Chain A
Amino acid sequence: MSGLEASSNEALELKEEKDFDVELEGNSDFDYRHDPFEYLFYRDRKEWSDLAPVPQDDGPNPVVKIAYSEKFTDVFDYFRALLKNDEKSERAFTLTAEAIELNAANYTVWHYRRVLLQALEKDLRQEMRYITAIIEEQPKNYQVWHHRRMVVEWLSDPSEELEFIADILSQDAKNYHAWQHRQWVIQEYKLWDSELEFVERLLEEDVRNNSAWNQRHFVISHTTGYSDPAILDREVQYCLCQIRKAPHNESVWNYLKGILQDRGLSSHPGLLERVLELKETQCSPYLLAFLVDSYEDSLESNNTRATLNQAQEVCALLAQVKDTIRREYWLFLGRSLESKYGPTAAPQADAADQQEPS
């Protein structure tokens, strides 16, 4: 939904004049751009006088004149004029940069710029420098990242990507767009080698970074996988270590559950004991939730009243004390366990019958 686009944008402020490193070959606009006191509107520039500016057609907008910034109006009036004439020129290309600076979310401007990049056979390396600068300014925008992807594809050159994305992530380690781009680059160009190391670095900085945990799963699933018991155990130990450092961490518990759930949470030797130990000193609602899931998993293969009682106790603790905001969920879980494993439960079908086709 475009609403998701809006919510990830920064506030749309009028940007100050910014210098970015783009060569404007013999374009007299250059002088105007870099001296704000001498800025000339397009409507006053001799070399644009052949073009009739096209005012904004607001559609269902009452006749009241809106006081937008003059510069914004001027630039977009001329953008619309270029579009209308389907003009493919240097001056058009330069103007797209100005339009983008004023409104980087306007996807039509980006489309037009790409058309011009191809029609004018522009230097794509230069375009990489340009898009790098733009993303640094406005990293939470779908269009800028998609544009960068297109340029990387056209160049077939991902060599700058990992470092660039790392830089963006150093400013906001959870930037959703940055992570998508990173995943694309890694998969497309098979750049898996140092990614686990990168993830670990980020987790050192913020062990609660959910994006980094997601990336950990992404890297391992696509490389070694989790079926090797040594790898699985390594991951379990890693999780336990992180939990000890920062117990109140939804992501690590989600990850731990995620990597074990196919095998069964209670199948990993010694894990339940470690979790029970941690319960004494590093408890959290997530730990308790994991405990219930563990008990439930062991009930699948060995239904004992003792285990069921333990599970029920934890559900009650969560519902009444530790996670009351989710009371309804914990009560549901308790009831569900009772009906599945309690004395009145129907005889359990063979576990194999209950598996969904994958």
Chain B
Amino acid sequence: MGTQIKDVVIKDDAPNALILDKHADYIAAYGSKKDDYEYTVSEYLRMSGIYWGLTVMDLMSQLPRMNCEEITEFIKSCQHECGGISASIGHDPHLLYTLSAVQILSLYDNVQALDVDKVVEYIKALQQEDGSFAGDKWGEIDTRFSFCAVATLALLGRLDAIDVDKAVEFVLSCMNFDGGFGCRPGSESHAGQIYCCTGFLSLTSQLHRLNADLLGWWLCERQLPSGGLNGRPEKLPDVCYSWWVLASLKIIGRIHWIDKAKLRAFILACQDEETGGFADRPGDMVDPFHTLFGVAGLSLLGEEQVKPVNPVLCMPEDVLRRIGLEPELLS
């Protein structure tokens, strides 16, 4: 009985070698092109865009090509009175962009450029009674924000500022019957949310609360015949899941459960040989987001040309070593 499996087919002429120089050139030039409409409309996430660009450049040992001083000044002007940081100037503060800002400044070893105490205060105020975190004052609750909160505080060495036990209880209440996690209790398991929750449990040293075999199996089930990974059953593969799924597997010590060679081939096929950068799947348009996660995924697979990446924080391992942050991993 033939069944159509939802997947892509990688063409024979798809890229199969890593063209790191092209990716570095793509990122270095991003935002300076005349016709970049995409850059303009993504102002609402600029801080994360900068984090993606800088992190992938650092992983490729190309960070010096970016403008540290300008970026630092930009970040400073994005910190609001409440302590939170916005995506860009003239935008409202949000946990997502607070994390990105602290990640960027950690790359530059300059978190002191911010009022750190105020950042901590901002995050603390977003924790709800049930332990969950709102993304901002408007109250959207999501396990992504639990991750953002503890990741930011861990980078600042201030995890003690929140009620960690309650935060853990909330995240665990989002564990589903299949071992995965969604955005709120009852939400469908989704690889992106699973990454946030396993990352959260790593940072709070609670990985033992997971059913690692069950979750590991659900995660390795994301691999499709093309070698690519999807985010939940019956969905198409996307290179960003090479990060969300792979990093989660690494954190729970089961990365060897996926077929690495096939995944690597899929990731490489997502490159654009003309423009540089990675797209969500072979043949599509590239962007910095997928470029970071393609390169980071390759790093997790052991790519020698790329620096080792930390699976919890998606930052170069050497940066975390310098900070003295070593989130727990299962073996």
Contacts and interface: CB of A to CB of B under 8 A. Distances in A.
A108 B74 contact: no
Nearest to A209: B234
B298 interface: no
Interface in A207-266: 208-211, 214-215, 217-218, 221-222, 246-248, 250-251, 254-255, 257-259, 261
Q: How large is the interface on A (under 10, 10 to 19, 20 to 34, 35 or more residues)?
A: 35 or more
A282 B3 CA distance: 12
Contacts of A122: none
A325 B266 CA distance: 14
A180 B147 contact: no
A1 B1 contact: no
Interface of A: 1-7, 12, 14, 54, 56-62, 64-69, 72, 80, 83-84, 102-103, 105-108, 111, 114, 142, 146, 150, 174, 176, 179-180, 183-184, 187, 208-211, 214-215, 217-218, 221-222, 246-248, 250-251, 254-255, 257-259, 261, 282, 289, 325-329, 332
Contact of A72 (B40, B87, B92, B136): B40
Nearest to A83: B90
Contact of A3 (B52, B178, B234): B52
B88 interface: yes
A214 B40 contact: no
Contacts of B89: 57, 59
A293 to B, nearest CB: 10
Given A179-B187, A210-B232, 16 more contacts: A1-B48, A4-B144, A5-B96, A6-B42, A6-B48, A6-B287, A7-B280, A54-B90, A60-B31, A60-B70, A62-B32, A102-B41, A106-B43, A187-B186, A217-B176, A328-B257
Interface stretch (B13-21, B111-119, B188-196): B188-196
A176 B259 contact: no
Interface in B109-150: 136, 138, 140, 144, 147-148
Choose among B3, B221, B227, B259 the residue with the greatest number of A CB atoms under 10 Å from its CB.
B221
A112 B41 CA distance: 18
B36 interface: yes
B177 A258 contact: yes
Contacts of B36: 66
B233 A111 contact: no
A178 to B, nearest CB: 11
A221 B173 CA distance: 14
Nearest to A8: B192
A146 B223 contact: no
Contacts of B293: 3
